[in-house]
Amino acid sequence: MKKIKVGAVSYLNTKPLLFGVEHSAGLMQQIELIKEYPSKIARQLVDGDIDVGLVPVAIIPQLKEYHIVSDYCIGAEGNVASVCLFSDVEIDKVEKVLLDYQSRTSVNLFKVLLKNHWKKNIVMEDAQKDFSEDIKGTTAGVLIGDRALKQRKKSKFIYDLSGEWIAMTGLPFVFAAWIANKELPADFLKLFNEKNAEGINNIDAVLQNVSCDFYDMHTYYTQNISYKVSEEKLKGMHLFLELLQKL
């Protein structure tokens, strides 16, 4: 049988979603699991190299066909902690912003917020590898994932992008969702969804397999990331895609 190719984000935030998946021999037999940073997973789904992926929602317009196939996502209903503008100076004094090459949603969320929330014009530059060292003086950076959690100890000013989005819109935010580029078998999707739920409903077991010395993972999994897809989150996602279209 041909294996279903599943692309997942390689960050700490994805561990609760993969906990049940990776512990299920039955499911693992059906899939090939690829872990990469978000912009790579996005490219693979757009190019058809994978069948389903935990992809940045900002790339939805690039897909000829898309199906949100799970009740779980990487979302936030408050400060997400791992998607922020980091800076040595207040945003009013920032002259240049470096944009994380691993991101597709958050760098676009920053652009949406800059125009509609902060109502500013700042020079932006696509960043290269290891750019966190270049975040200094009047050069700020949008950083995501585990590297962002580490950066929290280094930068004086931290603007949490989902917090700012919620302040602007009153809606929660979805960074990434499980999206397929084709129809997939219903029995596979049912099992995949059940296995996603396992870790989400058992964060204490997930935490036993995670070690992190730069941020409290219990807080991250229970108060920062919000994993359940909801009507409100989808509303937030559609508004984001609409504002992105207008940029």
Residues contributing to the site for ligand ISJ (CB under 6 A): 9, 11, 13, 38, 56, 74, 80, 82-83, 103-106, 144-145, 148, 175-176
Instruction: State the pairing for strand pair 173-180/52-56.
Output: antiparallel
Q: List the one residue out of 116, 112, 117, 135 whose CA is nearest residue 125.
A: 135
Residue 165 burial (10 A CB sphere; 0-12, 13-18, 19+) = buried
Q: Return the ∠ at Cα 67 (arms to 64 and 68), rounded to 5°.
A: 135
Kindly state the smallest distance separating residue 14's Cβ from ligand ISJ, in Å: 7
Instruction: Name the amino acid, one letter, at 1.
Output: M
Of residues 106 and 132, the one with the C-beta less far from ligand ISJ: 106
Are 204 and 85 spatial neighbours (Cβ–Cβ below 8 Å)? Answer: no
Kindly state the smallest distance separating residue 38's Cβ from ligand ISJ, in Å: 3
Kindly state the smallest distance separating residue 1's Cβ from ligand ISJ, in Å: 29
Are 80 and 200 spatial neighbours (Cβ–Cβ below 8 Å)? Answer: no
Kindly state the smallest distance separating residue 26's Cβ from ligand ISJ, in Å: 26
Q: How far, in Å, CA of 68 to CA of 86, rounded? A: 31
Of residues 43 and 195, the one with the C-beta less far from ligand ISJ: 43
